[in-house]
Amino acid sequence: MIGMGAEKELQEVIREERRRGKRPVDESLRKEKQSLVRELLAEDDEAIFSESICALGLQEGSEAWKEAVSAWRAAKREHAQGRPGRP
């Protein structure tokens, strides 16, 4: 059985964990990430794009990496076909 002090400490930890999920979004960080994504999508060299996303933590060959490269290629195809508003 848990003592009263330990139980109180456990309840405090649970409260902190619940609050952690309710923190407000850091708007400046979100905008910075969006800007970085736009810059990466504007990159014309696939090798540089790949190196950049790997530097951001995506492992080359991983599903996330494949999805990012696929999205980049699709954006480049759309741009080549003259669809404005895309990199």
- pLDDT tens digits, residue range 49-86? 899 888 888 899 999 989 989 988 988 888 888 865 54
Q: What are phi and psi of 16, to 5 degrees?
A: -65, -45
Amino acid identity of residue 40, one-letter, is L
pLDDT > 70? residue 25? no
Q: What is the pTM of this model?
A: 0.57
Going from N- to C-terminal start, the domains of the chain cover 26-80
Q: Which two tokens stand for residue 1?
A: 């059985």
pLDDT > 80? residue 46? yes
